[in-house]
Structure 1
Amino acid sequence: MAAMSDVLLRVGRLNYVWTNTESLLIYIIAHLLRVEKEAAIVVFLTLNTTRARIDLIERLSKLASTSPSDRKAILSAMSRLKKESKTRNKYNHCIYSFDDKGEISSTQLMRLVEDDKEIRYGKIEQMDAREIDLLEKSIAEIVAISRTLWAFIHASPQIAGEL
């Protein structure tokens, strides 16, 4: 069991670091499309899911006009971000179960798994010390991705000029 305040604090931090990191994708879009920040913001906001934004960035980075070094750096960062999006999605799209003391005891995913004969939903995972540790590691990795993106942005004169 995990204290509700401990879980909510970490989920709040997860969302905070995620939002700040995802906003950096605006600069990556601007760089890849060779447009000003305002145009990249329009593209970013028009794509209304993280998945769509990452897909766009990955596809643009694979174009021949993207330098091999930029392609490698961008695809690496996007791969890491996609991996961490699973944790973010889990904690933002689950139901929390509580024990008799009001502490969070487990999470239940709100996803359907369907085959020819049945539909299953709601994988249940215990909210224990191991899960709290995984949440902390995900937060740390998102912060590291953010630092990687900032380093890429600052190293690129075109992007850095938009800051």
Structure 2
Amino acid sequence: MNSHLPPKPDFESIETAAFESADRRTTLLALIGNLSFSWSNNESMFIYVLMLLLDTDEVSAAIVFSTLNTTRARLDLIQRLALIRIARKDVRQELDGLIERFTAATRLRNEFNHAMFMLDEHGDITHTQSLRIVEQRGRFKFGETRQVDRARLDEMSTVIRDLRDLNRDLWDFLPRLQAHVPTRSGP
């Protein structure tokens, strides 16, 4: 019988050899965890942006935020509200810049959170395969395969640092945003 399935891994050999590659796997998994942690903390900061733009309380903003089921939909709502609620162009541009930085990090976060991981015969994670369908020249294929090498680990570390800096910048931005969004009780 001809099968299109990939060959079944030799799990016993991989598990036997995996001890030697445990440090590399642990490093990658720690980076994925830190990336996810940092990304989530930043995404949650946009609840406060939404709270100010809607002139509402934190719980109401969180309800609106969580009702939208994608990050893209949440950011689109924030950008649309910013157009009508923030009179100063420089403040809107600053918000757009923060959103752009977050969106750039989102690509890498999505790549690792929505991937299949490929192991070699030693149990080392060698590649990721995206779980997206990709069309190239009219043909469809199952996701992009990318090598997990030193450059990729360095990219993850850089994005984690970028997310740390973004979080601080979002906290610094909130008071400026609050000063430039009219409230029901204010201007």
TM-score, normalised to structure 2, is 0.78
Instruction: Please state how far the C-alpha of 1:72 moved relative to its aligned partner.
Output: 1.4
Check whether the contact 1:32–1:66 (CA below 8 A) recurs between aligned residues: no
Matched with 2:49 is 28
Instruction: Please state how far the C-alpha of 1:64 moved relative to its aligned partner.
Output: 5.7
Q: 1:126 to 1:115 in 2, by over 3 A?
A: closer
Residue of 87, 103, 106 corresponding to 1:82: 103
1:146 partnered with 2:155? no
Residue of 124, 127, 139 corresponding to 1:106: 127
AA partner of residue 38 (structure 1): V
Question: Number of residue pairs matched?
Answer: 159
Matched with 2:151 is 130
Matched with 2:89 is 68
Check whether the contact 1:107–1:125 (CA below 8 A) recurs between aligned residues: yes
1:53 partnered with 2:79? no
Higher mean C-alpha deviation, range 115-124 or range 66-75: 115-124
The residue correspondences of 1:148-163 to structure 2 (distance < 5 A) are: 148-157=169-178
Q: 1:62 to 1:157 in 2, by over 3 A?
A: closer
Check whether the contact 1:44–1:53 (CA below 8 A) recurs between aligned residues: yes
State the Cα deviation string for residues 81-111 of structure 1 (Å, max 9, x = none): 1111100000000110011111110111111
AA partner of residue 81 (structure 1): F
1:18 partnered with 2:18? no
Q: 1:7 to 1:35 in 2, by over 3 A?
A: same
Instruction: Please state how far the C-alpha of 1:70 moved relative to its aligned partner.
Output: 2.2
Instruction: Please state how far the C-alpha of 1:114 moved relative to its aligned partner.
Output: 2.8
**Identity over aligned pairs, percent:** 31
Check whether the contact 1:105–1:126 (CA below 8 A) recurs between aligned residues: yes
Q: Which has the larger radius of gyration?
A: 2
SS for the counterpart of 1:96 is strand
Q: Distance in 1 between matches of 2:129 and 2:41?
A: 27
Instruction: Please state how far the C-alpha of 1:44 moved relative to its aligned partner.
Output: 0.8
Check whether the contact 1:61–1:70 (CA below 8 A) recurs between aligned residues: no
**Structure 2: where are the runs of 5+ without partners?**
1-20, 182-187
Q: Cα RMSD between the aligned structures?
A: 2.0
Check whether the contact 1:61–1:75 (CA below 8 A) recurs between aligned residues: no
Check whether the contact 1:21–1:146 (CA below 8 A) recurs between aligned residues: yes
Instruction: Please state how far the C-alpha of 1:21 moved relative to its aligned partner.
Output: 0.9
AA partner of residue 127 (structure 1): V
Check whether the contact 1:97–1:105 (CA below 8 A) recurs between aligned residues: yes
